[in-house]
Amino acid sequence: MIGILDYGMGNIGSVSYALERIGAKSAVVTDAQEIGKCDGLIIPGVGAFAPAMKRLEQLKPSLKEFVASGRPMLGICLGMEVLFDEGTEGGKCAGLGFLEGSVKKLEGAPKLPQVGWNTIEITGESPLFAGVASGEYAYFVHSYACKPKKAGVTIATTEYGERFACAVGGGNVFGVQFHPEKSGAAGERLLRNFARMT
């Protein structure tokens, strides 16, 4: 069973419907006890880094325990950003720290936020991207980008003003800056791959 974490910042309905569409069993979870029962966990997110972490702070111990158990976790958009050490939106703020690096405003972007379709270039191997080809389109809504400290963490990149990591993976922790639940066939394949991992 895949848990969809509701911490008041997520695109819960769209993610839930996307998982239902591919036949994956899922449930919305809100507390440590429910998180502990999940085989996989998705952290969705729409909004700003600092308010998100304020809500996630009390769940941090149970999320760390979940990651330590080896079960797969997927952060989507803001949910990917909070996986890192820190964010800079509204001032420096500590993240969950599952991946080394920071989150900073996109540089050289023609307009912020980036809203709409953009291509992804796959730069690393990951079971999350099985059957997804470089050059496929994904749907983005964001103004900030993740800057991983380790090059090997980046799975795919996108260019919007600057080239940035749009998908990352370290151990059993994964993140995508785009919204797979809104990204057509490529997004559906990615969610199917995550469901298989669980």
DSSP string, 12-40: HHHHHHHHHHTT--EEEE-SHHHHHT-SE
**Gap between the Cα atoms of 182 and 11, Å rounded:** 11
Let me know if 159 is a catalytic residue.
Answer: no
Task: Give the active site residue among 81, 89, 136, 181.
Answer: 181
Q: Report the first-to-last Cα separation within the chain, whole angstroms.
A: 7
Task: Give the active site residue among 93, 136, 146, 179.
Answer: 179
Cis preceding-peptide flag for 113 (omega within 30 of 0): yes
Let me know if 179 is a catalytic residue.
Answer: yes
Partner residues linked to 121 by β-bridges? 157
**Gap between the Cα atoms of 60 and 65, Å rounded:** 9
Q: Are 94 and 85 in contact (CB under 8 A)?
A: yes
Find the angle CA(159)-CA(141)-CA(35) to the nearest 5 degrees: 115
What is the DSSP-derived secondary structure letter of residue 89? T
Task: Give the active site residue among 77, 93, 146, 166.
Answer: 77
Let me know if 125 is a catalytic residue.
Answer: no
The residues carrying an active-site annotation are 77, 179, 181
